[in-house]
Amino acid sequence: MRHLSRSARLVPAGALVVLAGLLAPPASAADSPTPVACPPAVAELATCWGGQDDNGAYYTIAVPEDWNGDLVVHAHGGPDLAEESDPARSVEDLDRWSVMVREGYAWVGSAYRRGGYGARMAVADTESARRIFVEEVGEPDRTYAHGQSWGGDVAAKLVEVHPTSYDGALLTNGVLAGGSRGYDYRVDLRVVYQYYCGNHPRPTEPQYPLWMGLREGSTMTSAGLRARLQECTGYQSDPTDRTGLQQRNLDDILAVTNIPERTIESHLRFATFTFRDIVHARLGGRNPFSNQGIRYSGSHDDKALNAGVERFAADPSARRDLSWDSDLTGAVEVPTVTLHAIEDPTAFVEHESAYRETREGAGTDDLLVQAFSQESEHSSLSDSGYASVMGALADWVETGTRPTPADIAATCPTYDARYGTGCFLDPAFTPDSYASRVEPRPGGLRWPALTAAQERAWAHRPSIGIAP
């Protein structure tokens, strides 16, 4: 197990309180970082600063008093849909991922310059936060990218686009199938839901193709969407209080889409509001989604469902641009560890199979170790598990010895003695293929790996949306 103290420490712990000496004005940031209150989980362990970069993205920095000299650069999930950067977001992320600071790592996270889709935009803002840390605190001994959920896609793309800036990557409950196929099950939910419910939109409302998620200019709210879902399925009601039609609608939708009942609302929100953002705000009204040739099954009448469900084909240019923005090429040069809950109800564990396939295709699977946890949540797992995979990644980078899932699981009890949140790692688990969970779309187009020079040539693009 890795020791938390290190002789070559960049900033002595006692010097961290000398804020004026530590925080020289940066060369590029719009605002110099200023001292901020650390979130409660690390308030007694670290010193924190916050600021806003040139692109308007807020960020938060934390350096523990007993700093081990290494840095974790965090990419958060979502995407959120606010128009502007939220200064509270990176502070909330630091609180959620306080285990990294408690393990001795410095931490920096960006809130991104805006909400809405754009993996490469998030990559640029996350890399900006890392550079600000280096300018203000100093060059860490080692730098690790960490991404959670959609942030897992961002962090995986980050180490592809900036291969020399990071020593390792940790991806937790990541959406690792990429945008061009990672949301196909929500495409299926959107059309299957409308087939059974017919209220999104209602027949009396302006009609639009369902791949839009929602028509541009609609004033629908999340509360309004919940009301329609409840009207059709009674999902908020006790099963005994549902009508027979509501129960059958709910049973059919869940059986056909393989979406857990407890997250049907969140998936439908994504297939409504985030799809609208992707289509209207990022792709100029073009459709990146397809369900042509998909045969839906599991309902009480599959023949009627397949005859009546709305069908559409993707605009090749839109699918290309979504692929360019968020699909992963597997061109990764650093050790990568992933951790995924086996019963993750949001980013299904089969995303890991998609990522392994990507890494195998790129010939970089020797730099990938995947760990799985017998947990059933998406947004947060056991701190003991997080510490185990982070420690394994750091040891791998330091020693060059690739860990096995069994090695990682064996270290967990030691971490759990500190955190007491439980050890649930299952070294014997292997997920089924992504295609076993989500039927592949015919004629898909995925962006190939770019050379470093090509990546640099595209570097100015993320601020204008998805399209290269």
Going by pLDDT thresholds of 50, 70 and 90, the confidence category of residue 83 is: confident
Residue 442: predicted pLDDT:
76
Q: Measured on CA atoms in the order 239, 234, 307, 439, is the torsion positive or negative?
A: negative
- Do residues 96 and 40 touch, judged by C-beta distance below 8 A? no
Residue 280's CB is within 10 A of a number of other CB atoms, namely 17
Which SS3 state, helix, strand or coil, does residue 415 take? Answer: helix
Rounded Cα gap, residues 387 and 372, in angstroms = 14
Rounded Cα gap, residues 433 and 216, in angstroms = 36
Residue 292 lies in a domain: yes
Residue 159 lies in a domain: yes
Whether residues 264 and 358 share a domain: the answer is: no
Whether residues 379 and 359 share a domain: the answer is: yes
DSSP characters over 24-83: PPPSS-SS--EEEPPPGGGTTTEEEEEEE-TTS-EEEEEEETT--S-EEEEE--S----S
Rounded Cα gap, residues 93 and 97, in angstroms = 6
Whether residues 135 and 39 share a domain: the answer is: yes
Whether residues 300 and 212 share a domain: the answer is: yes
Give per-residue pLDDT as tens, 367-416: 999 999 999 999 999 999 999 999 999 999 999 999 999 999 999 999 99
Residue 450 lies in a domain: no
Whether residues 344 and 282 share a domain: the answer is: no
Residue 371 lies in a domain: yes
Which SS3 state, helix, strand or coil, does residue 108 take? Answer: strand
Residue 24 lies in a domain: yes
Whether residues 149 and 268 share a domain: the answer is: no
Whether residues 371 and 341 share a domain: the answer is: yes
Sheet holding 336-341, edge to edge: 34-36, 46-52, 58-64, 106-110, 71-75, 143-148, 168-172, 336-341, 368-373
- Count of domains for the chain: 2
Residue 20: predicted pLDDT:
25
Residue 347 lies in a domain: yes
Which SS3 state, helix, strand or coil, does residue 317 take? Answer: helix
Residue 7 lies in a domain: no
| Structural domain boundaries, residue 165 | 13-177+324-440
Residue 462 has pLDDT above 80, yes or no: no
Residue 6 lies in a domain: no
Closest CA to 209 of 129, 316, 289: 289
Residue 231 DSSP class:
H
Going by pLDDT thresholds of 50, 70 and 90, the confidence category of residue 32 is: confident
The CATH number covering residue 122 comes to 3.40.50.1820
- Do residues 150 and 112 touch, judged by C-beta distance below 8 A? no
Whether residues 402 and 358 share a domain: the answer is: yes
Residue 463: predicted pLDDT:
39
Whether residues 306 and 273 share a domain: the answer is: yes
Whether residues 300 and 329 share a domain: the answer is: no
Segment 331-354 shows an average pLDDT of 97
Give per-residue pLDDT as tens, 413-424: 999 999 999 999
User: What residues contact residue 373 under an 8 Å CB cut-off, 6+ apart?
Assistant: 339, 340, 341, 342, 381, 382, 385, 424, 425, 426
Q: Measured on CA atoms in the order 279, 282, 286, 291, is the torsion positive or negative?
A: negative
Give per-residue pLDDT as tens, 50-68: 999 999 999 999 999 999 9
Segment 39-45 shows an average pLDDT of 94
Please state, in angstroms and as integers, the Cα–Cα distance from residue 297 to each residue in 192, 196, 262, 294, 325, following that order: 11, 14, 21, 10, 31
Whether residues 277 and 331 share a domain: the answer is: no
Whether residues 328 and 425 share a domain: the answer is: yes
State the maximum Cα–Cα separation within the chain, in Å, rounded to a whole number: 71
- Do residues 243 and 234 touch, judged by C-beta distance below 8 A? yes
